[in-house]
Every structure is written in structure tokens, then in C-alpha cells.
């Protein structure tokens, strides 16, 4: 019974924590809509983003960004 109440309390705590998280993307979306530049950061090393032997960009960041 105590374990079940612990799980319920933990679940409620996670729900409250998730509900209080705020996302502030307004400024970014405004910059994109206005045609202004934005900064995107990523790791420039294997396996994230790196040039192959022919100098072409590879890695999973480039796979997502370049399609």
C-alpha cells in the first residue's frame, strides 16, 4: 500500500512539474518571421557532424538538417 501511494505521489509530482515548464520560443519565431538571422549550434565531431573523405557534410545532425 505504501509503495502504491509512493508511485501515485511521484506521478502527481511529475505531472505538476511538467505542467509548470514554460517554453519561450516567441522571440525566435519572431526573428524567423521577420527574416532575421538565427544561430544554430551543434557539435562538430563524429558522429554528430563532420566532413567525409570527399569533404561532404555527414553525421546525423547533417542528415536531419540537409534531409
pLDDT in tens, the chain (67 residues): 788 888 898 888 888 887 776 666 678 888 889 999 988 776 777 788 888 899 888 888 878 877 7
Q: By residue range, what is the domain housing residue 60?
A: 37-67
Cα dihedral value 44, 45, 46, 50, nearest 10:
50
Residue 22 belongs to a domain:
no
Residue 47 domain flag: yes
Residue 48 lies in a domain: yes
Residue 7 within a domain: no
Question: Does 28 map to a domain?
Answer: no
Let me know if residue 2 belongs to a domain.
Answer: no
Q: Tell me whether residue 9 is in a domain.
A: no
pTM above 0.75?
Answer: no
Please tell me the predicted confidence (pLDDT) of residue 60: 84
Domains in the chain, number: 1
What is the pLDDT, as a whole number, of residue 54? 92
Q: Cα(first)–Cα(last) distance of the chain, in Å? A: 51
Amino acid at each position: 500500500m505504501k509503495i502504491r501511494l509512493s508511485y501515485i505521489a511521484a506521478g502527481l509530482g511529475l505531472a505538476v512539474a511538467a505542467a509548470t515548464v514554460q517554453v519561450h520560443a516567441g522571440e525566435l519565431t519572431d526573428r524567423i518571421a521577420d527574416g532575421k538571422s538565427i544561430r544554430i549550434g551543434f557539435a562538430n565531431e563524429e558522429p554528430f557532424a563532420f566532413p567525409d573523405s570527399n569533404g561532404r557534410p555527414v553525421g546525423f545532425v547533417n542528415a536531419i538538417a540537409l534531409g
